[in-house]
Structure 1
Amino acid sequence: MEIIVGVDIGNATTEVAIGKIEAEQEFNFIAEGEHQTTGLKGTEENIKGIMNALQQAVQEADLKLEDLDLIRLNEATPVIGDVAMETITETIITESTMIGHNPSTPGGVGLGVGKTVMITELDSCSAGEEVIVVIPAEIDFAIAAENINEGLARGIEVNGAIVQKDDAVLIANRIDKQMPIVDEVKFIDKVPLDRKAAVEVASSGGTIQELTNPYGIATVFDLDADETKHIVPVARSLIGNHSAVVIRTPQGDIEEKRIPAGKIIAFGESGKEKIAVDQGAEEIMKSIEKVQPLKDVKGESGTNVSGMLERVRSKMKQVTGQNLSDIKIKDILAVDTFVPQEVKGGLAGEHSLENAVGLAAMVETSQLPMQQIADALVQELPEVEIEIAGVEANMAISGALTTPGTDKPIVILDMGGGSTDAAVLTQEGNIHTAHLSGAGNMVSMIIETELGLEDFDLAERIKKTPLAKVESMFNIRHEDGTVHFYDEPLAPQLFSKVVSLDEGELVPIPTDHSMKRIRQVRRDAKKDVFVRNAVRALKRTIPTGNIRDIGFVVMVGGSALDFEIPELISNELSNYGVVAGRGNIRGMMGPRNAVATGLVLSYLNNPRWN
């Protein structure tokens, strides 16, 4: 009897399959295990995750670790995702400062323009002078309203107010003129005085119009063409707000700094291509395809993209010990996205959405890191033989063929956390494979970046679960528009929140983004990564290069479990007349465990078995 184990180290999950070979050459799978991958895929840090998955599997099989005869590891290729800004690394405003924090209850309505004046100094203003009063917390709302009314009576054009406390409505209800009032300005001491300012509050249910329009701001502050270009990030960052303040400050208050996005230089067997990042993901991917197969990718020195690619190489150097010169980038996936960038000169943490390109870079596999994992595993299990067995895509084919209803020719899409692998097994038994960067982790990175979450775990939850909006204490509205009612009242803290439906549990999402916006970002990210990778992987692996020449695609891997990715891919491939669906490994595992299963099955061709 022999006990054979297949271990698939993925970017997100490490999976184990255990098979038993009886003396009469009877073979059976007897257990499976699964654990989160520890450390970067393809490094010695993976050992802890491997051991945990093995412990889980041997317990299920009622075995001990020392009962194992052979452990077969897959070839693990690490993939790292990062973001390269398209034009600038931070939004810089040279001629203005702003408050756009969108308090829940501003007062009044309309647009008011004037010089900023402390409410206690209103007596020093002259009749006909246009002012915006600044009201700190120590001034009671009733006194502030009285002072404003007195100023209006003396002919001072009080056109708006900036208030520290939550007093906007209280003040608006007590003054003799309708004007926009923005409150809850925590750092009101930072509001510059004696500077021209514009305050805008939209009508109920609306959003501001003038201060989201760069030409509107230019009109208010009498800006020339060059100054208007600098004000664009201010206008963009205020889009969707119910209220805002823009204040012009002296020239030179804030220093401008720009770092260009730069160019990507792709080296392939058919030549070299240089493409500017600011041309966008579509042009980058066209250039990458022109020089396939890719040998390496570098960035223009002193630019954003150069820094991003060097971070990838440096990280790989740290975890593998390889020389930088030996680390080659074998594939790039580029995706257009948006990145919230802090507006320098803002007073309330304002951000502007800047165009960006997300990049996932796949580093060339070296046998050395995998051998280090094998050597480290020998130290943990000295009585067990360890070997590095096969390429992921080839092993996935063996595993996927255990899906009921499949046969040669077959196309496998193995979609994990870091990479998308494709393999075609022809009727004649020939195998063509492609190993591409970009998968589940990149989707999460795009969601985290575009929604400005700064929380990868939250982005993962948004990626994996449907959304709903809690409309009352007894009902929620799902993202597809259907309504679900509850017999018992929901928790008060869920009211009016966007929630994720995590196995029936309502988990609030701590963000101000609407359900529609979150859903759109999530689905767009999945399309940009998985649908794009599915199409380019198939084009590379199908001998004719024509997707219409295949009939069936089986999707495996952790991302094939996603509630919408297989549907998105199936819809796209239906345009080519292709039937695509989730695999069901061994008729019981669903799309999971394909590579681990294949590692065990491929051993059956071993002379010791034959």
Structure 2
Amino acid sequence: MKLIAGVDIGNSTTEVCIGDMQADGSIRFVSGASRMTTGTKGTPANVGGICAALEEAMDKVQRPVSDIHLVCLNEAAPVIGDTAMETITETIITESSMIGHNPSTPAGAGQAVGELIFLEHLGEGIKGQPYIVAAAAVHTYEEIAGQLNAHHGRLDIRGLILQADEAVLVENRLVFEIPIVDEVRHIRNIPEGKQAAIEVALPGQTVRMLSNPYGIATLLKLTPQETRSVTPIAKNLIGKRSAVVIKTPHGNIRENILPAGEIYLHGDREAMVNIDAGADKIMAALEGAGLIRDISGQADTNVGNMLSRIKIGMAEVSEEALDAVRITDILAVDTMAPVQISGSLAGETCMEKAVGIAAMVKTKQLPMERIARRLQRELMVNVKVAGVEAVMASLGALTTPGTQLPVAVLDMGGGSTDAALIECDGTVRTTHQAGAGELVTLLIQTELGLKSRISAEQIKKYPMAKVESLFHMRLENGQMQFFQESIDPRYFGHVVLLTPGELLKIEEDIPMEKIYNVRRDAKRKVFVRNALRALREVAPDHELKAISNVVLVGGSAEDFEVPEMLMEELSEYRIVCGRGNIRSSEGPRNAVATGLVLSYLGGK
């Protein structure tokens, strides 16, 4: 009796399968476990997670780890995700010339134009001159309202800018109506004495004049040349509830185009593509370059710095020389990223085009051999590197009921998408593509501007609802769900994630429809595109119609909507596609670990 352990080191999780070699030469599966991967995939830091997973699996059969006859490891190639910005335009305003944000409580409505003046200088105001008043947080809302009311008869006060979140409190105490913008963080940077236009939209609407360059020109009486210079400001104010634009007389508004950079593909054919061209052109150039030996970027550019940072990071964790680290594949997807506006007064950001990139990093030496040696020293058991992930996943996938040869297997993990096609005669074609679940998480976090990566991961994994009363919620598919008992009041009016057993509140104030669209778009851009790319690579003559069956395995195959997306996409080619059910019990997980155990049988 021999216990054989298969260990699949993934970007996110390390999975273990324990098989018992029977006297008749068959394998009986007895246990399994899953733990978070420690360190970067394919580095010696993985040993901690492997040991923890093996101990958990052996505890289930009440045997010590030392009873294992052989530990079989997969060949693991690290995949690192990062973003490179494409055609980013940064609006630089040296005199803090714009405000445009969505405070929760602006007050009043309409537009106003006037000269900027601080509250404490109202006594110096000139009769007949229209004013926009700025009040710092050192003044209470009662003091602000009292000062404005006192000067109302003498001065022409058209609008108000507040630093604190007190617009409604001030408005309720005024004897006249004006538009009020609050929550302006750097209010002391406002240039007093300059002309400013202020606009507050009605509830449920957005600003119209200040999000239009000709509207700004109308309010501030700009020349055609000045109108052209405020175009980036108008663009950044689209969709805002309130806004302020300040006229600066010396051309202090300019656009600075940051260099995105070029990607150099070193393969069968040398190729170069500028990241400004977008994801489609990048992936077309990658395909045209043939077998890739390495990928690099233009020096002192966004993409060049990003690729260099990836290589340096990999060299450090793998303890290899920098010239031994190569990037052998990338997946590029178009996205949008929030960019901080330099000189803004309220922390404003604007959405700019970006390219999300997942890169596959390899070293000249096989890192798995080093992991195997270290694991053998720590556990005092035999350890070997048994096979390529895609092949092992195929062996494991064949334990799914209803599968037969020929079959294609898609292993969708956290960092990579592996594909393999096993023919009836046993020949196998494999490919290892960069990009999977972690890149989806990165895109969701970037496009929604989330501070927490954990929040992005949860949004990726769970469906949503909007709690519209204490007794019902609107699901993301439009259906209503009613409850006999009251929902916790903390969730009222919020978007929540429907996790097993509890609701998770999304803290950011983002419409459910936007989250839904960003989440699904990110999954299509990564999973669907990469799946088609991988399947074409292994298909006979690179024709998808030559594939009849596809089994989906890996952690990302458990996603609640990705398999359906792929089934819909592959139905055009008459391909049978669905989640695997490894060993009739594990669902789509544990395919590689199971395959590693089966590989011990060799040709039997």
TM normalised by structure 1 equals 0.94
1:18 equivalent to 2:18? Answer: yes
Letter in 2 for 1:200: E
1:315 equivalent to 2:304? Answer: no
Distance 1:367-1:599 versus aligned 2 partners, 3 A rule = farther
CA contact (8 A) 2:185 2:347 kept: no
Give CA-to-partner distance per residue, 1:419-447, whole Å, 9 cap, x none: 00011112222211111000000000111
Query: Equivalent residue for 1:279?
Result: 277
1:296 equivalent to 2:294? Answer: yes
SS of equivalent residue, structure 2 residue 197: strand
SS of equivalent residue, structure 2 residue 15: strand
How far apart are the structure 2 equivalents of 1:550 and 1:81? 30
Letter in 1 for 2:354: A
Query: Equivalent residue for 2:107?
Result: 107
How far apart are the structure 2 equivalents of 1:92 and 1:23? 75
Query: Equivalent residue for 2:215?
Result: 216
SS of equivalent residue, structure 1 residue 364: strand
CA contact (8 A) 2:442 2:453 kept: yes
How far apart are the structure 2 equivalents of 1:580 and 1:230? 53
Residues 55-204 of structure 1 aligned to structure 2 (within 5 Å): 55-88=55-88, 90-94=90-94, 96-137=96-137, 139=139, 141=141, 144-145=144-145, 147-148=147-148, 151=151, 153-154=153-154, 156-173=155-172, 175=174, 177-204=176-203
CA contact (8 A) 1:94 1:251 kept: no
SS of equivalent residue, structure 1 residue 40: coil
The structural deviation recorded for 1:143 is 5.8
CA contact (8 A) 1:91 1:341 kept: no
Give CA-to-partner distance per residue, 1:498-531, whole Å, 9 cap, x none: 1111113111111111111111111100000000
SS of equivalent residue, structure 1 residue 344: coil
Distance 1:29-1:232 versus aligned 2 partners, 3 A rule = farther
CA contact (8 A) 1:80 1:361 kept: yes
How far apart are the structure 1 equivalents of 2:315 and 2:165? 53
Query: Equivalent residue for 1:338?
Result: 336
Letter in 2 for 1:438: G
Letter in 2 for 1:413: L
Letter in 1 for 2:67: D
The structural deviation recorded for 1:172 is 3.8
1:565 equivalent to 2:562? Answer: yes
User: Which sits farther off after the overlay, 33-42 or 247-256?
Assistant: 247-256
Letter in 1 for 2:76: A
The structural deviation recorded for 1:194 is 1.2
Query: Equivalent residue for 1:371?
Result: 369
Letter in 2 for 1:31: S
CA contact (8 A) 1:76 1:365 kept: no
Letter in 2 for 1:68: I
Distance 1:371-1:563 versus aligned 2 partners, 3 A rule = same
CA contact (8 A) 1:94 1:255 kept: no
Distance 1:89-1:18 versus aligned 2 partners, 3 A rule = farther
User: Which sits farther off after the overlay, 395-404 or 424-433?
Assistant: 424-433
1:422 equivalent to 2:422? Answer: no
Give CA-to-partner distance per residue, 1:254-306, whole Å, 9 cap, x none: 9976530011111221x122111111111111111111222211111221110
Distance 1:334-1:232 versus aligned 2 partners, 3 A rule = farther
SS of equivalent residue, structure 1 residue 522: helix
How far apart are the structure 2 equivalents of 1:380 and 1:597? 23
How far apart are the structure 1 equivalents of 2:133 and 2:92? 27
Residues 134-533 of structure 1 aligned to structure 2 (within 5 Å): 134-137=134-137, 139=139, 141=141, 144-145=144-145, 147-148=147-148, 151=151, 153-154=153-154, 156-173=155-172, 175=174, 177-221=176-220, 231-249=230-248, 251=250, 258-269=257-268, 271-364=269-362, 366-382=364-380, 384-533=381-530
> Percent sequence identity over matched residues?
50
CA contact (8 A) 2:2 2:21 kept: yes
How far apart are the structure 2 equivalents of 1:249 and 1:263? 36
SS of equivalent residue, structure 2 residue 270: strand
The structural deviation recorded for 1:215 is 3.7
Distance 1:323-1:186 versus aligned 2 partners, 3 A rule = closer
Distance 1:409-1:125 versus aligned 2 partners, 3 A rule = same
How far apart are the structure 1 equivalents of 2:137 and 2:23? 85
How far apart are the structure 2 equivalents of 1:316 and 1:553? 33
How far apart are the structure 1 equivalents of 2:227 and 2:49? 54
CA contact (8 A) 1:211 1:235 kept: yes
CA contact (8 A) 1:262 1:277 kept: yes
How far apart are the structure 1 equivalents of 2:577 and 2:411? 13
Query: Equivalent residue for 1:9?
Result: 9
Letter in 2 for 1:376: R
The structural deviation recorded for 1:170 is 4.7
CA contact (8 A) 2:95 2:191 kept: no
Query: Equivalent residue for 2:48?
Result: 48
Equivalent in 561, 581, 604 of residue 578 of structure 2: 581
CA contact (8 A) 2:164 2:184 kept: yes
CA contact (8 A) 2:444 2:519 kept: yes
SS of equivalent residue, structure 1 residue 544: helix
CA contact (8 A) 1:418 1:441 kept: yes
SS of equivalent residue, structure 2 residue 573: coil
1:603 equivalent to 2:600? Answer: yes
CA contact (8 A) 1:8 1:16 kept: yes
How far apart are the structure 2 equivalents of 1:414 and 1:114? 62
How far apart are the structure 2 equivalents of 1:94 and 1:139? 27
Letter in 2 for 1:513: I
Letter in 2 for 1:274: M
Give CA-to-partner distance per residue, 1:340-380, whole Å, 9 cap, x none: 11111111211111110011110135443111111110121
Letter in 1 for 2:335: T
The structural deviation recorded for 1:578 is 1.5
CA contact (8 A) 2:115 2:132 kept: yes
The structural deviation recorded for 1:486 is 2.1
Distance 1:141-1:23 versus aligned 2 partners, 3 A rule = closer
CA contact (8 A) 2:417 2:436 kept: yes
CA contact (8 A) 2:413 2:556 kept: yes
How far apart are the structure 1 equivalents of 2:265 and 2:565? 30
CA contact (8 A) 1:95 1:251 kept: no
SS of equivalent residue, structure 1 residue 575: helix
CA contact (8 A) 2:338 2:447 kept: yes
Distance 1:166-1:78 versus aligned 2 partners, 3 A rule = closer
Equivalent in 540, 545, 548 of residue 548 of structure 1: 545
Aligned length: 604
Consecutive unaligned residues of structure 1, counting only runs of 5 or more, are none
CA RMSD of aligned residues (A): 2.2
How far apart are the structure 2 equivalents of 1:300 and 1:278? 13
Consecutive unaligned residues of structure 2, counting only runs of 5 or more, are none
Give CA-to-partner distance per residue, 1:106-146, whole Å, 9 cap, x none: 22211111111123433433343221012344556566456
SS of equivalent residue, structure 1 residue 212: coil
How far apart are the structure 1 equivalents of 2:63 and 2:596? 20
The structural deviation recorded for 1:233 is 4.5
SS of equivalent residue, structure 2 residue 541: coil
How far apart are the structure 1 equivalents of 2:158 and 2:137? 20
Letter in 1 for 2:210: L
How far apart are the structure 1 equivalents of 2:497 and 2:571? 30
Distance 1:232-1:388 versus aligned 2 partners, 3 A rule = farther
